[in-house]
Structure 1
Amino acid sequence: MTSPAPPENAHPYLRAASAGVRHHTRALAPPDAAQPRLADRQHLDALHAHLAALLHLLDRLAEATRPPRPAAGRLLATAHTRLWQATNDVHNAFHVLPADASADAEARACRPDQLPDEPPVLTTCQRHLAAGHVVRRKTTPADLNTPVPGHTTTCSH
């Protein structure tokens, strides 16, 4: 039994977001560049926002899928946990990268208790705490610390 082919306009915003990620990936290493562009804090902030949005999408898909299709729901929940691990690593990388030369030490600090300068944009840390709250509500600490199968690197922090 096969699924019917989705219409071309199915999930247009998700398709556009995927196309944007593909375009950005190509732009990071244009064929004529000697080296790819290095990540900076603004880049990782935007990537973290994208991953956090994907976390919310996977969470809703897993919740909606689990009752009628438990096996698929469990797999989506596992994907949600793995995506959280990636989001957490991007957040940590954000703090490892140096801030702009014009930024002072307080601006570089992780301050989730402070409101962002310009609403409705959240700071990376506020967004990370909000996403982490949702993840921890539905995931055990053991699941969050379980390495991805085949993943052999270790964290240094």
Structure 2
Amino acid sequence: MTSSTRRDDAHPYLRAASAGIRHHARTLAPSDADSPKPVDRLHLDVLHAHLTALLHLLDRLAGLTRPSHPAAGRHLATAHTRLWQATSEVHAAFHLLPGTTEATAETSGCHPEGLPEGPPVLTICQRHLAAGHVVRRKTTPTDLRPHTTACVR
């Protein structure tokens, strides 16, 4: 017995994650009565976790697509590299924000044990280093250089 999946039923968790991001972006827009709140470390940590999960998904999709559709696989691999660059910038921004408690110059570096919040099970730094290891195994330093887009369509 085969189940037919309707197009709108495909990938429900990915659609839910996208809907959650859209909702979050809408709630960040200040109303007339509210002044915008600055982003905090916790916010960037959660965003970094989402980007890292998306990075792993994109890496997997590129690997699955490349054998049967090499050109599409290369585009997905390029998107993976660009997403890694965005993930790196979020990680850098995390360290430029003050911590929730006594943030000092020592805690602004990538030292999870010294974070003011204490070392959670998986800190942003540990997550970033693990993702970076995977990225660097599959890309060259030239691939990781800043990118400019020239659309050909």
Specify if TM > 0.5. Answer: yes
Q: TM-score, normalised by structure 1?
A: 0.80
The alignment-based identity, stated in percent, is: 66
CA contact (8 A) 1:112 1:129 kept: no
- Counterpart of 2:87 in structure 1 is 87
* Cα deviation code 1:104-137 (max 9, x no counterpart): 66655422589x8443xx1000000011011100
Q: Distance in 2 between matches of 1:13 and 1:134?
A: 24
CA contact (8 A) 1:63 1:73 kept: yes
Q: Distance in 1 between matches of 2:148 and 2:84?
A: 12
Q: Which blocks of at least 5 consecutive residues in structure 1 are unaligned? A: 151-157
- Counterpart of 1:77 in structure 2 is 77
Q: TM-score, normalised by structure 2?
A: 0.82
The root-mean-square deviation of aligned C-alpha atoms, in Å, is 2.3
SS class of match (1:145):
coil
- Counterpart of 2:146 in structure 1 is 146
- Counterpart of 2:97 in structure 1 is 97
> Is 2:63 the partner of 1:63?
yes
Q: Distance in 1 between matches of 2:38 and 2:136?
A: 32
Aligned length: 143
Structure 2 counterparts to residues 44-55 of structure 1, below 5 A: 44-55=44-55
- Counterpart of 1:155 in structure 2 is none
Which stretches of structure 1, 4 residues or longer, exceed 6 Å deviation after superposition?
A: none
Q: Distance in 2 between matches of 1:74 and 1:113?
A: 38
Cα drift, residue 6 of structure 1: 5.2
Cα drift, residue 146 of structure 1: 3.4
After superposition, the Cα gap between the structure-2 partners of 1:58 and 1:105, relative to the gap in structure 1 and judged at 3 Å, is same
Q: Distance in 2 between matches of 1:57 and 1:99?
A: 30
SS class of match (1:141):
coil
* Amino acid paired to 2:87: T
Structure 2 counterparts to residues 101-112 of structure 1, below 5 A: 101-102=101-102, 108-111=108-111
- Counterpart of 1:12 in structure 2 is 12
* Amino acid paired to 1:137: R
Cα drift, residue 36 of structure 1: 2.7
After superposition, the Cα gap between the structure-2 partners of 1:113 and 1:144, relative to the gap in structure 1 and judged at 3 Å, is farther
SS class of match (1:81):
helix
